[in-house]
Each structure stands twice: as structure tokens, then as C-alpha cells.
Amino acid sequence: MGFLPITKEDMAAQGIEQPDFVYVIGDAYVDHPSFGHAIISRVLQAHGYSVGIISQPDWKDENSIAALGRPRLAFLVSGGNMDSMVNHYYVSGRRRSNDAYTPGGKPYKRPDHAAVVYGNLIRRRYKDVPVILGGIEASLRRMAHYDYWSNSFKRSILLDSQADLISYGMGERAVVEIADALSSGIAVRDVTFIAGTVYRTRNLDSVYDSEMLPSYEEMKADPAKYAKSFWMQYCNTDPFTGKTLVEAYQNGVYVVQNPPSKPLTTHEMDAVYDLPYMRAYHPSYEALGGVPAISEVKFSLVSSRGCFGGCSFCALTFHQGRTVQVRSHDSILREAKLITQDPDFKGYIHDVGGPTANFRHPSCEKQLTRGVCKDRQCLFPEPCPNLKVDHSDYLELLRKLRALPGVKKVFVRSGIRFDYLLADRDDTFFRELVEHHVSGQLKVAPEHISDAVLDRLGKPRREVYERFVKKYDKINGQLGKKQFLVPYLMSSHPGSTLKEAIELAEYVRDLGYMPEQVQDFYPTPSTVSTVMYYTGIDPRDGSKVYVCRNPHEKAMQRALIQYRNPDGYELVREALVKGGREDLIGFDQKCLIRPRKLAGEGKNTDKGRAKNAGNPAHRDGRGKTKKKTIRNIHRKK
């Protein structure tokens, strides 16, 4: 079938005089089902609509948005597979030097707040063409929100972009309904009835069964009002129970969020992933070095979407929802067979999963008819008594994939929810995961080990993770394997003071290695954690939360986790002194760092000690640093 048109010459070759939709995207054009623009455009095409692609237009030139002419129905706009601000900046505010979603990995090919900029660019050139926002950037900014990068409280992106509608969440259903409405002659201002959309209005007469959120002005003046508003939104993310939400602005403007779209059935999911994707980036990028992001997904399989994990720092509840939706085995196997035919395939399927790999069905039966619970989580603080724990379907799928001709190994690299794994009384999946699907290291995300911080994170308690570690090691031992865990850890999350950061450093000390997978908490829109960061309030219960906002304290918390790095010595020392833990500075096995200078020693000796400042267990009798390998992870000294 070929790629969708990106030039007027392409349109002419495909017999398209005027496209129904022009899709403006912040990424390079990659026609692969791991890219949102590919799915939406192919779904529209399957329903009889023509779509042209404008990828990474020059936002300083109005003519760039006119490359395919005026669309018959609307412009679609997406900032990209990633939020443009996360794509551009580290949490420190430093600019990233590359962009995996741009040809050749080059940075600066899209603007900050790309969806807003593209929307205004279109509106300057085409005053009366409908503009529909979609993608994660618009989805998570659909109502008033805190913007970390400007440290400000922003309006709904619908207003700032001058768009007409937002299609939020997973938009396959909504975008087809929007297309059908516009094609039937309904004016975009009257398209107010589609689930999974947000629109603006000055008249609420036709809005039924709604909840009024605090107004933008109220929330801007009082962050506690924003915490209240966010929790109202969080409790209305389920398509079965969610109500229409209304947010008021000055001058009589209202932003109205309709309830979410219903989850896709397995048959519908299969249809989406069976569409004729080219499974590659557009050939025009070849001379530029290709698009790096495809290497992460080219030989991976999406088996599910949605997540009932409920982590506070994750926006999945707002974007994909808590109801897990799955593809059939047949659909996944068909895609796997396509992968094996790729000339670059070496026999390794890199991943089979989704937001959480071992979720292959809703958490309980009632979710598909009555929705998820508003007042409780499925796994936190402990697994719900109604939780359905069953890995048999996922295990069967992995066995089928392992048996395919040409497949040497099937890895699981999506996140594994270890507390859900432990809740399964049948160890068959756990054993086969370790035996067949781990590539020497299994990455897991305890995030922290202080229960006080874990409660804020929405993660299981420390003892749960320690039980998982013990069981993982036991199974490896039974199988005669030497495979290790690589835990993801997070510093500076709301609730973490220097006390908890030191507690985490002591845990790292006892592991016997310095973790590389450390992430400073990154306040992205529409997460429970970001609300805590901005307001100092846990929106779940209204309690006060300590928030580390000072860059220097953030640096101390991160340095503590990687305390063996000599570059962070002064930060670690300062943190230990401020935290009242000078007992961890010394020569005992339990100490984190050595004193910087001893009486009677010269500068050269002092410099040498600083270079090797770390746990004494890392030094032999001659003062040389012993190398630690990954084999030491989770092994007792």
C-alpha cells in the first residue's frame, strides 16, 4: 500500500486531490504501530478517509503548514510520541543533545510545547479549518495544569493552541467519530457529544450530569484548589463511571471534558494492529541516518494497553486508563511472523508487553461492566481481595512465540509488576520468565525502599520487594543461572527528605554496587506526584507532603544514591552532616564515605583518598579500588 503522502507529488501519485485530513506531527514520520500518528492515520484510512502527513514543519514559516494544501475536514496535530518538553530537557533544565524521534537523532527540529505552537501556526494560515489536538502532550494538558518547565500554572492546552477539540487518551474510537461528524456536515463547534474529547463553549445548557471543577482563576490563586480539582479528574478517568467535567475561565468560557472512550475489545485491538503499516520510517530519511527511535520497537510486540498499577508518578491512568485491553494471540503471532521476515531480524524478539508486561487482563471481572473502583487501587497499598491474579494467558503467549521458526529468544523488557507476580500462587510463569525471558539482567522498579516514600509513590512496601529479590535469586539458583536484578531508583520524589535519601543510600551500600538506573523525580503533567510537587498536598487524602524543590538538595539526594562516585563526595558529606548521620563517615564497613583528610597526611595522599572515597569494602589492603561487577548485585558480602 505504501506510505501516506508527505508531498503534493505523493498525493497526485495516489490520486488524492485534497486530503480529508492533514496530520501535523512533531516526530519524523514512522509508519509503525508503536507510533501514535501511524495508528491514527491508518485507522482513518481504513474508514475511507485520506490523510497527508506534515512532519516537523518549520514553525517559523507559515508556508510550512501549507505543504499539502487545505484539508477537506480538519488538521490533526500531535506533539509526538513523547511530550515535547520531556523530549527536549533533562529534569535539571539542561537541553538534551539528541532527539531519537528526529532523522539522524538531531535536536531542535520541533519547538517547545509543540502542540501549542503548531496549533497557532495553523490558525494564522487557516482561520476557519478545524484543528484537532491528540497525542500524549495534548492528552495530559487537556485541563488546567502545572507546567514544571516554566514553573507556572497553565490553562487548558485547548485554549492556548486555539484548537477546536482535543481527542484525549487512546484516540481510535474518538477520531473516527470526529471524522464521521465533520464529514456529515456537522460544524466543529457542534461536535460536543463524543466520548474521549474536550471542547470549549460559552453555553452549558446542553451539558448534562456534569461536575464543576474549581475555576482556573481559583486554582491559580490557591494551589489547594488545584489538588482538589486533580483528584476529581483522577476519579473520573473510567469510561463506565466517569462524568462530564467542566472548568471555567474568564469571559464566560468553559472547557468541557466528556467521559473517556470505552476500551477497545480484543477484536478491535486486533484490527488496529493488523492494518497495513510499512513498519519503517519514511525512506526520505535514509540519507539523514534514519530515525533512531525505531530501533527500540522494530523487533518488539505490543500485547496490551492500560495499567491498574496506579503508580503516583505515572500518567497512564490519565492517558490509557486503568482497564487493561489486550490483543489476541493470533494477532500477536501474525505480527511476530512479519518480524521474523525482516532482513535485519537476528532471531531475538526484544519485548512482548505494554505499560506493564505481566498484565494481560482486567484486574477483576466487574471492570468491563461497572468500571474500576474510584476509592481504591487494585494493588496499593496491598492487593485487593477481588484482584484476579493469573499469568497463564501471558505464559501461553510467550510459549507460542518461543516456538516460532526463526525465533531464538523472546525477551521481556517491559516493566514487570513484581508485587503482582508474588501474588500468583502458581510459580510456573515466574520460573519460565527466569529460565527463558531474561537477558542476564531483569529490570524492575522498586523506586525507593523507605516505606514513607513508597506510600507517596503508590508502590509496594520494602518487604515486598525484598521477598521478590529472595525468590528471584532462589529460582535462579535452582536453574543454575547467574542472572541479576537491576532496580530503577528515584531520588527527590515528594515525601523524600534527606533522612529517607540516606536510608536509600544505606540500602544501596548493602547491595554492594552503585546503581546506574537513577532518575531524579521529573514533574510531568497530570500525575499524582506532580500535584504533590506543585501544591505540597497529597491529592488522595489532602495530607501535607515534604517537597524537595531546591536544586542543591536534589543534587545531594541523587549523590547519596551514587555515593561511591568520587565526584559527588562533597555533596554526600554535606548531606550526611545535615542529616545528622556523621556516623556514616569513617572506616567502618557500614560507612558510606571516608574522612576527606587525616592528620599527618599530605595533599597527595588526601587527593588519593578523595579519588577512592567510598565504602571501605571496595578497597583492598593496599588501598586499591576493587572492581565490582554486575555479579555482585543482590549478593551478600
pLDDT in tens, 422-454: 999 999 999 999 999 998 899 899 999 999 999
Read off the DSSP letter of residue 293: G
- Phi, psi at residue 620, to the nearest 5°? -90, -175
**What residue ranges of the chain have pLDDT lower than 50?**
598-637
Q: Which residues contact 2 (CB under 8 A, 6 or more apart)?
A: 14, 278
H-type alpha helices, 205-244? 216-221, 223-234
What CATH number does domain 8-202+252-257 carry, 3.40.50.1980, 3.20.20.100, 3.30.1120.10, 3.40.50.280?
Answer: 3.40.50.280
Of 69, 78, 73, 59, nearest in space to 9 by CA? 69
- Residue 138 and residue 475: Cα distance in Å, rounded? 44
Q: Is 347 left (phi over 0), alpha (psi -120 to 50) or beta?
A: left
Query: Whole-angstrom Cα distance, residue 588 to residue 238?
Result: 53
Residues whose CB falls within 8 Å of the CB of residue 547, separated by 6 or more in sequence, listed in order: 494, 532, 533, 536
Q: Domain-by-domain residue ranges, the chain?
A: 8-202+252-257
Residue 165 to residue 204: CA distance in whole angstroms: 16
Q: Cα(511)–Cα(632) distance, rounded to whole angstroms? A: 8
Element (H, E) at 193: none
